[in-house]
Amino acid sequence: MVLERQRSTLNSISISKIFYLMFWLLKPFYIGASGSLQIGDMFILLSFVLVIFDRKVMAKFEKIDRNLYVFFAFVFFINSIYFLIYRNTDFIKAIFYYLFNFLGVFIGRIYFSDDGFLKLFDKVLKFNLLVQLAIYFIGAGRWFGNSRA
């Protein structure tokens, strides 16, 4: 019975959900410089594009998320003004960092209402931790545990 439920969850999962899971699987792994777009980041962008075209999902702009939308609007407005005043592209980068995180929260709020998806998400996160531990113990990769200050 459990196996059948898992199989039906996998069969009914959308490509957008798979991309969102791939984002969380690959997010901790950096190939380029920190702060630049990584492989995992591409998956969340693809997931968002597919969510935009899914008519059933667009109805999920819920009132509970209003504060998130207002916060992002302020981030956009304030950083845009500072960019116009100081002509420093760091303010534009900040807008994109916040936009990127907004996408992750927005998509997560849509998918986390599905218990089957949450179980898959749990498995992806556990697998991610196992991969990170394996990489750490075999000595591959690098660890940046120090402060970024």
pLDDT tens-digit map of 4-13: 334 444 455 7
Question: Can you read off the two tokens belonging to residue 130?
Answer: 């196992």
At 140 the pLDDT is: 84
Q: What phi and psi, each to the nearest 5 degrees, are found at residue 114?
A: -100, 115
pLDDT tens-digit map of 92-123: 999 999 998 888 988 998 899 899 999 999 99
At 55 the pLDDT is: 67
- Would you call 51 exposed, middle or buried from its count of C-beta atoms within 10 A (0-12, 13-18, 19+)? buried
At 6 the pLDDT is: 42
Residues of the chain with pLDDT under 50: 1-10
At 5 the pLDDT is: 38
